[in-house]
Amino acid sequence: MSRPLIGVPGMWSSSIHGLRFDGVAVAAQVLRSIDRAGGEPVIMFPGSAGAAGNTAALLARFDGVVLPGGADVDPALYGAEPDEHYWPADYDGQDAFETGVLAGCLEAGIPLLAICRGLQLLNVSRGGTLIQHLEPGPVRHKDAVHPVAVAKGSLLAETLGTAEACVSSYHHQAVGVLGAGLQVAATAADGVVEAVEVPGAPLLAVQWHPEDTAATNPTDHALFAWVVEAACRRRDGERAAGTELADAR
C-alpha cells in the first residue's frame, strides 16, 4: 500500500539561504516527522492559482494535512492593531491561503494536525482572538520545555494515551477568546491554552512544536502517527466506497 500524501502549506519567505530570490519553506523537522510516521510530505505552494480558485480541488489530492508554525497571524483578522512585538508573514496572502486550507479540511473531513500558528489561525478563523504577546510568568513559553494537562475524554488524550505531556514550546502569542465550536484539549499551568479540537472532526491543534522532539518523545510522535493513520483510513474508505459504487453500476 502506498504512503498517504500529507499536504504541508509552505511559508513564503523573502529570503532563504542559498537562493537568490524569495522562496517557500517548511521546517525540515515537520517533514521528517511526517516521513517517520509513514506519510509522504508534500509542500503546498501558498501562491497556488488552484488555491485561489478552488481550495477543495487543491486539497482533493491529499489524504491528510499538517499546518505548521510560522509568523504571527495578522491582528486585523481579530479586530486588533499590531503591537511592537508583531512578526508578520512575508507574503500578504499567507493567512488567507492557510485559512482556506483549514476550512477546506474541515468541510471535506480531511485529517488535520495544526501546529502553533496553525492553532492560532484556526482560533481566529472561528471568531476567536489572540493574546498578542505573553509577558514573562510562571511558565516559560518561548524556547522552553514544560508540562501540559490534557483534557480527559478528548481526542488528544486518546491519541497521546496520557493525562499530562511534556512539550517543546516556542511561541509568544496565545489563544485569547476561544473561537466558536472549539473545545480546549490541553492547558499549561498558567492557564494558556495548549490544544484545541473541533468535536467530531478529525482535527488536532496544538500550541507546542511536536516536531522538535518527535524522534525521541513518544507523545509527540503520536500526533504525527495519528494524522498519518487517519489519512490512511480516509483514503482506504474512499477507495472502498468507489469500488462498491463501480460494482453497483
CA distance 159 to 195: 13
Give the pLDDT confidence score for residue 140 in this predicted structure. Answer: 96
| Residue 40 contacts residue 3 (beta carbons within 8 Å) | yes
**CA angle in degrees (0–180, nearest 5) for 137-143-146:** 60
Contact between 147 and 167 under an 8 Å Cβ cutoff? The reply is yes
pLDDT per position as a tens digit, 22-37: 999 999 999 999 999 9
Give 5-248's CATH code, choosing from 3.40.980.10, 3.40.50.880, 3.50.30.30, 3.40.50.1370: 3.40.50.880
Inform me whether the pLDDT recorded for 246 exceeds 60.
no
Residue type, 237: G
pLDDT of residue 48: 79
Short-list 227, 220, 221, 229, CA closest to 194: 220
- C-alpha cell, 57: 480541488
User: How far apart, in whole angstroms, are the C-alpha atoms of residue 141 and residue 138?
Assistant: 10
Q: Residue 56's pLDDT band (boundaries 50, 70, 90)?
A: confident
Cell of 91: 507574503
Contact yes or no for 67/111 (Cβ under 8 A): no
Distance, CA of 192 to CA of 37 (rounded, Å):
28
**Cβ atoms within 10 Å of 19's Cβ, excluding its own:** 10
Higher pLDDT, 243 or 162: 162
Residue with the bigger pLDDT between 176 and 47: it is 176
CA distance 207 to 193: 7
Whether 240 has a pLDDT exceeding 90, the answer reads no
pLDDT tens-digit profile of 154-194?
Answer: 999 999 999 999 999 999 999 999 999 999 999 999 999 99
Helix (H) or strand (E) holding 44: strand 40-44
Could you report the per-residue pLDDT of 58-115, keeping only the tens digit for each?
999 999 999 999 999 999 999 999 999 999 999 999 999 999 999 999 999 999 999 9
Dihedral, CA of residue 191, residue 80, residue 48 and residue 228, to nearest 10 = 10
- What is the predicted pLDDT for the residue at 88? 95
Q: Whole-model pTM?
A: 0.94
User: What are the residue ranges spanned by the domains of the chain?
Assistant: 5-248
- Residues catalogued as catalytic: 116, 209, 211
pLDDT at 49 over 90: no
- Per-residue confidence (pLDDT) for residue 247, from 0 to 100: 59
pLDDT of residue 52: 61
Q: What percent of the chain has pLDDT over 70?
A: 93
